[in-house]
Structure 1
Amino acid sequence: SKDEKEHEEYLKAILELLKKEELYAKFSKCEFWIPKVQFLGHVIDSQGIHVDPVKIESVKDWASPNSLTKIRQFLGLVGYYRRFIEGFLKIAKPMTKFTQKKVKFEWGDKQEAAFQ
């Protein structure tokens, strides 16, 4: 939410929707009026949705893939965050070609540049 009033309106709408659908929240496990929340690898705050910095470090520390399985694992992780990576498809193309059938695994400079 951009401000407290908007936050209050969203909160009220959500609680009314839950009540209408006969779903109940355990208030002892709820947190209200917090400035940011981490959820499914994202950080949500008044500025919007961002990638969790822990996940960014995880990607930075990832060793260069040395097999098709490792490439698929890496592409799966970064693919989840593709909406935050401008030009993701173009960047990942040298690596995604290995996921096609009958393509021999040969890690070269283009793939390493895309990986970095």
Structure 2
Amino acid sequence: MMNTIFPEELSEGWLIIYIDDIIVFSETWDSHLTILERVLKKIVPVNMKISLKKCHFAYSELKALRHVSGLSLGMDKNKVVEVLLKPMPQTKKEIQSFLGFAAYYRQHIKDFAIIAKSLYKLCDQKTLYEMTEERVKAYEELKKSLTKAPFLLMPD
């Protein structure tokens, strides 16, 4: 729904939408005020609600959606440490949790689906949970890829 409300803004590259969160960014205070006005003018007619306690205004950098966004977008350093310290999953629930986390960053991981394929098979109820050598290698490769995920520059 949000994509249908803000198609022009999304195509102009200064707005990011994730489910019901909106992030806008700009290079100057004046342009930021103009952008906020445009967004608010679109929100009011469709009766969207804004939670002021979730709002952050005029930040040069903002941690949102497990990313750090300012001039770049990438994994929060605390999450990198968390991944490095993560032990080998021992249950289906633990591997599902890890894969959910990893899938969130899939756009930063080359060949994510290929690497994760054997791990996703473990999530099948009919599959016996067994961390084979192939699966251990896939898990370690995903962990390594997650900690090396590149930072992407914000669009101009």
Which TM class, normalised by the smaller chain length? 0.7 to 0.9
Q: 2:38 aligns with which of 3, 10, 13?
A: 13
Q: Structure 1 residues 31, 69: CA separation in 2 closer, same or farther (over 3 Å shift)?
A: closer
Shift of residue 6, structure 1, vs aligned partner: 4.0
2:127 counterpart letter in structure 1: V
TM-score, normalisation: structure 2:
0.60
Partner residue of 2:128 out of 99, 104, 114: 104
Q: After TM superposition, list the pairs within 5 Å mapping 1:36-47 onto structure 2.
A: 36-47=61-72
Percent identity, aligned pairs only? Answer: 25
Partner in structure 2 of residue 66 of structure 1: 90
For 1:87, the aligned partner's letter is D
Contact 1:44 1:50 in 2 (8 A): yes
Look at both structures and tell me which one has the larger radius of gyration over its CA atoms: 1
Is this contact kept in 2: 1:59–1:78, CA < 8 A? Answer: no
Task: Name the structure 1 match of 2:149.
Answer: none
Matches of 2:51 and 2:127, distance apart in 1:
52
Instruction: Pick the aligned partner of 2:102 from 64, 70, 78.
Output: 78
- CA separation of 1:90/1:6 partners in 2, compared to 1, >3 Å: closer, same or farther? farther
Could you say what secondary structure the match of 2:122 adopts?
helix
Using CA pairs below 8 Å that are at least 6 residues apart, which structure has the higher relative contact order? 2
Structure with greater helix percent: 1
Q: Give the number of equivalent residue pairs.
A: 115
Aligned pair 1:87/2:75, yes or no? no
Runs of 4+ in 1 over 3 A off after TM superposition: 18-31
Residue of 21, 26, 33 corresponding to 2:58: 33
List gaps (5 residues or longer) in structure 2: 1-24, 141-156
Deviation by residue 1:23-46 (Cα, 9 ceiling, x = unmatched): 676879854321111113122223
